[in-house]
Structure 1
């Protein structure tokens, strides 16, 4: 049983209504399943939101949860995909003291080697942005931690499927 547990990316297309996030998170909470990552944004369809969640469980469990999610009135459609079926990234921002940027050569090398980019620089701090796989962002965090990070934030996973999803046609029909 334990070996069948893996990461799933859950995509939920919804109307944007108050309280829905609470009800969906309760579906996971009742089953003692941790949501490792959550992201909400507009979708490719006007007036439809898309939530992207990452959870770690069995395929049998995710099928049951998708069924529960789709019972919510505001949910139009929910999907789940394995990591192999998706293209995904996370994004992070690091706020660091500015004097390190100019005085510490190693920080300059870390920035270059990690393919991160400087978003802003002022007298007191600079902000780095890094997008990529979670492990790449975590590695950059470890490397920068030695110098002191003033602030750090990381997004939830954003993902698209490798295969075409028929949600657009379904939603166009739904809106007509």
Structure 2
């Protein structure tokens, strides 16, 4: 199975998430992760969708079908080597009195993770990186009693030198920049 990241630029409208995800459901393609946020252009949202599939042709057909959705401005399918990407994870770790203390130096220097909240009974640690890096840290921290674990979907940008504006239809887009 090959991992594909599909980036969809859309108008920011109600119900669009359903229109897009139903295209995956119809083709029986599972979405591994989904992240949606507004872009640097006001009113333009970016969907970053990660799927694993064994047929490039099927993924290309899916991308062409997504392009047909009226509110979709642009769609791109990428392989991992064509993008820069990361995820974020939060770990809530128990720190009971008398337990083996966390080696914060290893957490920071080796795993590049950071304590973002400290409580008497637990700490919250943030780790950014690839899925593999996050699960490497998960395995390291697992013996310390993980109370909660949450991981975001992938965020990604193309390694291409072009900017988003070059792909959008001709229009006056208000910028946040």
TM-score with structure 1 length normalisation? 0.88
- Unaligned stretches of 5+ residues in structure 1: none
- The residue number in structure 2 matching 1:165 is 162
> What are the equivalent positions in structure 2 for 1:62-101 lying under 5 Å apart?
62-99=59-96
Q: CA deviation at 1:16?
A: 1.5
Q: Distance in 2 between matches of 1:132 and 1:166?
A: 23
Q: CA deviation at 1:109?
A: 5.1
How big is each residue's C-alpha offset from its partner over 1:143-174, in whole Å with a ceiling of 9 and x where there is no partner?
22222111111010111111123531343723
- The residue number in structure 1 matching 2:20 is 24
1:37 aligns with 2:33: yes
Instruction: Determine which of 29, 43, 47 is the counterpart of 1:47.
Output: 43
Aligned-CA RMSD value: 2.0
Structure having the higher helix fraction is 1
Q: CA deviation at 1:59?
A: 2.0
TM-score with structure 2 length normalisation? 0.88
Q: Distance in 1 between matches of 2:96 and 2:68?
A: 54
1:131 aligns with 2:128: yes
Count of aligned residue pairs for this structure pair: 171
Q: Is the 8 A contact 2:112 2:127 kept in 1?
A: yes
- Unaligned stretches of 5+ residues in structure 2: none
Q: Is the 8 A contact 1:87 1:161 kept in 2?
A: yes
Q: Is the 8 A contact 1:45 1:171 kept in 2?
A: no
Q: Is the 8 A contact 1:110 1:143 kept in 2?
A: no
> What are the equivalent positions in structure 2 for 1:106-121 lying under 5 Å apart?
107-108=103-104, 110-112=106-108, 113-121=110-118
